Amino acid sequence: MSEERTIELLIGPQHPGSGHMRLTAEVDGDLILKFEPNIGYVHRAVEKIAETKTYVQIIPLVERPALPDTANHNLGYVLALEKLLGIEAPPRAQYLRTLLAEINRIHSHLYGIGIHGIFLGSSTMFMWAFADREPFIELAQQLTGARMTYSYIIPGGVRRNLPQDFKVNALKALNYMERRLKDYDKIFVHNPVTVARLSGIGVIKKSDAAKIGIVGPNLRASGIPYDVRKIEPYCVYPDLDFDVVTREEGDSHARLLARIGEIEQSIKIIRQILDKIPEGPIFLESYLKLVSPKMRDEAEKTGIMKFPALFSALRVPKGEASSRVEGGRGEVFYYIISDGSPQPYRFRMVTPSFRNVIAFKYALRGHRLADIPAVYGSLDYFPPEADR
């Protein structure tokens, strides 16, 4: 340490502000000279395991990497699978899928905003955001039976029907959330300390954003109005009316505001879904015919589709298919190659956090040590999702 002016800091896995990854920073005083994210600490080989599992066993496998955002990952996989099978789910099932996806988007964004708050030092924002996830997790539990990893969307439809009192509870939760967003505004989003910490920090310019390929609210906060729900609409998004929240500045504060705006849009979408949902079956007729009559009657009576064992040997026709959906953190991309056997030949899953890793190198150039948590929180990077 005699003649060195710079310090190499390993903000490693055992650090309150790093998550499951290592950030190597070389600092000169307070200024960052070099910055390198080092990921792969939570790599669990999802793609390799998927080659040994049957197609429906992959549904829980695909949900586990991105825990705050499971329904969108589930939906993307099932859409790719349905393209290979050549089927399409009935309209009521499509509405229910979109409902779950939007509920999930709300509590995934609240997770990101809460983590951003604690990284900046505002424990109030952290506690409020995580407490306010609870109404939405309970709504999801009433709909699907599970709190976080639903496995609700299956090829051919969904597993459960809408409960009787769901609409009343959902409207209560949505009204509550709209009131809380005003509180968040006063305590965190437009708090003078937050604005001073976040404005102009971690700017990713519009030309850079497209070049380095970041996705999700990070991309939309840099001025590019790319949202998979508008570009390649799936499920019932063509029939719903919502805006793509875009901001021009590209700094951390813009990313925070983009996420808050998306929560508002999701609330709007859920209200429309609850008004417009049609009656009908929740599972594909041609698959329902393959089930024994006793199970068919039970499904009709209880509204719960028990998973028939016939799916365990589902043989998918030979071919390949790819699909993309808009998850909470960005665009999720699936690519399945099938060779006619019950297991996929190659299963490729590219998650939004993995595509956002490169933003660390671009956004933190020339910034200070204290900006690392501010930018990290604003990118909403989730290490288990990136490492899969």
Partner 1 sequence: MVFVPLIFPGLLTVTIVIVVLIWFERKLTAKVQLRYGPLYVLKPLGGALQMVADLIKFTFAELIVPKGSDKKAFILAPILLFTLSLLPVIAIPVSSKYAAFFSDLSLLIVLSLLTLTPIFVLLLGWASDNKFSFIGSLREGFMMMAYEIPMFISILAMAVTYDSLDLKHIVETQSSSLWGLILNPLAAIAFFGAMLMTTARYPFDITEAESEIVIGPYTEYSSVIFGLCLGASYVKLYVLSLFFAEVFLGGWNPFGGLESLHPILPGVAVLAKGVIIMGLCVFMRSVYPRYRIDQALRLGWHKLLVLSIVSVVLSLGIVGLGVL
Partner 2 sequence: MSSDISARLKTLAANIVVAALNRLLITVEAPKIVKAAQKLRDMGFDHVKSVTGIDYPEENRIDVSYHVSSFEDLELAKVILEIKTSLSRLEPKLHSLIEVWPSAEYLERETSDLLGVTFEGQPALGKLMLPESFVGVPPLRKDFKIKTEGIDI
Q: Which residues bind partner 2 (CB under 8 A)?
A: 39-40, 43, 45, 47-49, 52-54, 83, 209-213, 219, 224-226, 231-232, 312, 320-322, 324, 331, 333, 335, 337, 345-346, 348, 350, 354-355, 357-358, 387
d(CA 50, CA 343): 8
Residues 236 and 94 sit within 8 Å (Cβ to Cβ) = yes
d(CA 139, CA 147): 9
* Nearer residue to partner 1 within complex by CB, 131 or 146: 131
Residues 74 and 349 sit within 8 Å (Cβ to Cβ) = no
Q: Binder to partner 1 among 49, 146, 196, 313 (CB under 8 A)? A: 196
Nearest to 284 by CA among 154, 162, 163, 152: 154
**Smallest gap from residue 328 Cβ to partner 2 (A):** 18
Residues 382 and 20 sit within 8 Å (Cβ to Cβ) = no
Helix and strand numbers, DSSP H then E, in the chain = 17, 8
**Smallest gap from residue 260 Cβ to partner 2 (A):** 23
* Contacts with partner 1, 229-258, as mask; x by CB under 8 A: ------------------------------
**Smallest gap from residue 181 Cβ to partner 2 (A):** 29
Residues 77 and 63 sit within 8 Å (Cβ to Cβ) = no
Burial class (CB in 10 A: 0-12, 13-18, 19+), 238: exposed
Return the structure tokens found at 366.
Answer: 């020339």
User: Tokens 């041609």 belong to which residue?
Assistant: 286
Give bridge partners of residue 34 from the DSSP assignment: 26
* Nearer residue to partner 1 within complex by CB, 134 or 297: 134
Candidates 62-70, 139-147, 188-196, 260-268: pick the segment binding partner 1 (CB under 8 A): 188-196
Restricting to residues 345-374, name those near partner 1 by CB under 8 A: 368-373
* Contacts with partner 1, 130-169, as mask; x by CB under 8 A: -x--------------------------------------
Query: What are the backbone angles phi and psi of residue 304, rounded to the nearest 5°?
Result: -115, 125
d(CA 86, CA 156): 10
* Nearer residue to partner 1 within complex by CB, 193 or 310: 193
d(CA 42, CA 385): 9
Query: What are the backbone angles phi and psi of residue 120, rounded to the nearest 5°?
Result: -85, -10
* Nearer residue to partner 2 within complex by CB, 54 or 191: 54
16 binds, among partner 2, partner 1, none (CB under 5 to 8 A by kind): partner 1
Residue 118 as a binder of partner 1 (CB under 8 A): the answer is yes
213 binds, among partner 1, partner 2, none (CB under 5 to 8 A by kind): partner 2
Residue 190 as a binder of partner 1 (CB under 8 A): the answer is no
Residue 199 as a binder of partner 1 (CB under 8 A): the answer is no
Interface with partner 1 by CB under 8 A: which residues? 7, 9, 15-17, 30, 117-125, 127-128, 131, 187-188, 191, 193-194, 196-197, 368-373
